[in-house]
């Protein structure tokens, strides 16, 4: 599956957050035979619709969609020059499908800051600079060959133009993602800053409800998504029962944990969506990319389902809940038979028909 790499300067709370993510691991509960890698945390994407389906179908269990986070060792200034862990670090980032940068906002004189002061904007720039420099190196390396190819073959010219534009954006200090450039012609370069970014601001507990601060920080990273959490609180929340956790969250003016928010934002940033299945065994959310067709969606359950796909019976979640059962939804004409071309919609509750 797709993975989100967690990066950030030392002492910003990455390990604290990552520990909370792994303790929250849904793999152990739902996939007993899965091998769990030590540097990967797999988190359930909360979906209240699953509990509703579970009640409707008297399902034995509920299986949410998941999103995976990989812990990537702390970035050091000079990473793009291959210093220390630099090269290895950048190679790990290259493998990630999205980048989640943790930024320290919490003030704690006991926790040393690498640059001596809490400075979200400065931290952001430090990391962006390393990633931007690495991308500029990548572009410099391929540019002579691409220019030559574009002289020989006209169809290479759009790719060259896109890469030259990316170079200009990067020289101006902006990431490819933030500039909103089309990633398609740049894909073969595997640029680091073309990946989707998410920012986690690790704030003091009291600041979780400080909307002015949050707006200021959000503005620093827009159009990328920002999540605000207190990593220390997150590590306490996972030790509590659901009821106790909710009580603690509400005492801080929160409805849900930071990890839950991060899972949802991460899932969305990766360009993923779910469809739902339900029966006596389980109510389950399956992960597909946005725009996936019905046979592709069936293939997520089993490759044979995709190969032998005949049709899908689709009821929207709301229609199913209103009707109370699939049979009643059918009687009301709310169950649609969809073919190979159907593009899945969020909240589709599906049963596939296939040849084996």
x-or-dash pattern for ligand GDP, window 258-297, by CB under 6 A? ----------------------------------------
Least Cα distance to 235 among 5, 13, 6, 12 occurs for: 13
Under rule CB under 6 A, which residues in 63-82 are in contact with ligand GDP?
A: 74
Q: Is 10 in the site for ligand GDP (CB under 6 A)?
A: yes
15 is in an annotated binding site: yes
Q: Which of 108, 171, 215, 322 binds ligand GDP (CB under 6 A)?
A: 108
Give Cα separations from 71 to 27, 194, 252 (angstroms): 17, 20, 28
Tokens 């969609």, located at residue: 65
129 lies in the binding site for ligand GDP (CB under 6 A): no
x/- mask, ligand GDP, residues 229-258, rule CB under 6 A, reads -xxx--------------------------
Q: Is 103 in the site for ligand GDP (CB under 6 A)?
A: no
Of 223, 141, 214, 121, nearest in space to 178 by CA: 223
202 binds ligand GDP (CB under 6 A): yes
For residues 98, 266, 16 and 204, what is the CA-based torsion angle, rounded to 10 degrees?
A: 120
What are the C-alpha distances in Å from 320 to residues 51, 54, 345, 352?
14, 12, 15, 16
**CA 110 to each of CA 11, 73, 140, 210: distance values in angstroms, whole numbers, following the listed order:** 11, 22, 43, 23
Report the alpha-carbon distance of residue 276 to residue 266 in Å, rounded.
Answer: 19
One of 91, 111, 161, 343 touching ligand GDP (CB under 6 A)? 111
Query: Tokens for 238?
Result: 């996972």
Stretch that binds ligand GDP, among 126-134, 188-196, 210-218, 225-233 (CB under 6 A): 225-233
In terms of CB distance, is 107 or 318 closer to ligand GDP? Answer: 107
Residue 12 known to bind ligand: yes
- Binding-site residues for ATP sit at 11-16
> Using CB under 6 A as the criterion, which residues of the chain lie in contact with ligand GDP when the complex forms?
8, 10-16, 74, 106, 108, 111, 202, 230-232
């Amino acid at each position: 599956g797709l993975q989100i790499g967690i990066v950030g300067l030392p002492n910003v709370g990455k390990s604290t957050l990552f520990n909370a993510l792994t303790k929250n691991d849904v793999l152990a509960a739902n996939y007993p035979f899965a091998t769990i890698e030590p540097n990967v945390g797999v988190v359930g994407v909360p979906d209240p619709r699953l509990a509703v389906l579970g009640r409707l179908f008297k399902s034995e269990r509920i299986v949410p969609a998941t999103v995976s986070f990989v812990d990537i060792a702390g970035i050091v200034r000079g990473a793009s020059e291959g210093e220390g862990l630099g090269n290895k670090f950048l190679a790990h980032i290259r493998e990630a499908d999205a980048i989640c940068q943790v930024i320290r906002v919490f003030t704690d004189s006991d926790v040393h800051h690498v640059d001596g002061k809490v400075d979200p904007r400065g931290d952001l720039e430090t990391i962006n600079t390393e990633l931007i420099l690495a991308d500029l190196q990548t572009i410099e390396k391929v540019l002579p060959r691409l220019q030559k190819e574009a002289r020989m073959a006209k169809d290479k010219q759009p790719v060259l133009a896109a890469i030259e534009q990316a170079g200009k954006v990067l020289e101006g200090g902006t990431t490819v993602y933030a500039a909103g450039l089309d990633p398609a012609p740049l894909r073969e370069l595997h640029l680091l800053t073309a990946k989707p970014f998410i920012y986690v601001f690790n704030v003091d507990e009291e600041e979780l409800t400080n909307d002015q601060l949050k707006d200021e920080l959000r503005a620093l990273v827009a159009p990328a998504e920002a999540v605000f959490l207190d990593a220390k609180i997150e590590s306490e929340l996972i030790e509590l029962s659901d009821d106790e956790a909710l009580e603690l969250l509400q005492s801080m003016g929160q409805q849900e944990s930071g990890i839950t928010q991060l899972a949802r934002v991460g899932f969305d940033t990766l360009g993923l969506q779910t469809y739902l299945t339900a029966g006596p065994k389980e109510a389950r959310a399956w992960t597909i990319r946005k725009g996936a067709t019905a046979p592709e969606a069936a293939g997520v359950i089993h490759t044979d389902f995709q190969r032998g796909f005949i049709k899908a019976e689709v009821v929207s979640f709301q229609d199913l809940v209103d009707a109370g059962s699939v049979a009643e939804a059918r009687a009301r004409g709310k169950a649609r038979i969809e073919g190979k071309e159907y593009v899945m919609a969020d909240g589709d509750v599906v049963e596939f028909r296939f040849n084996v």
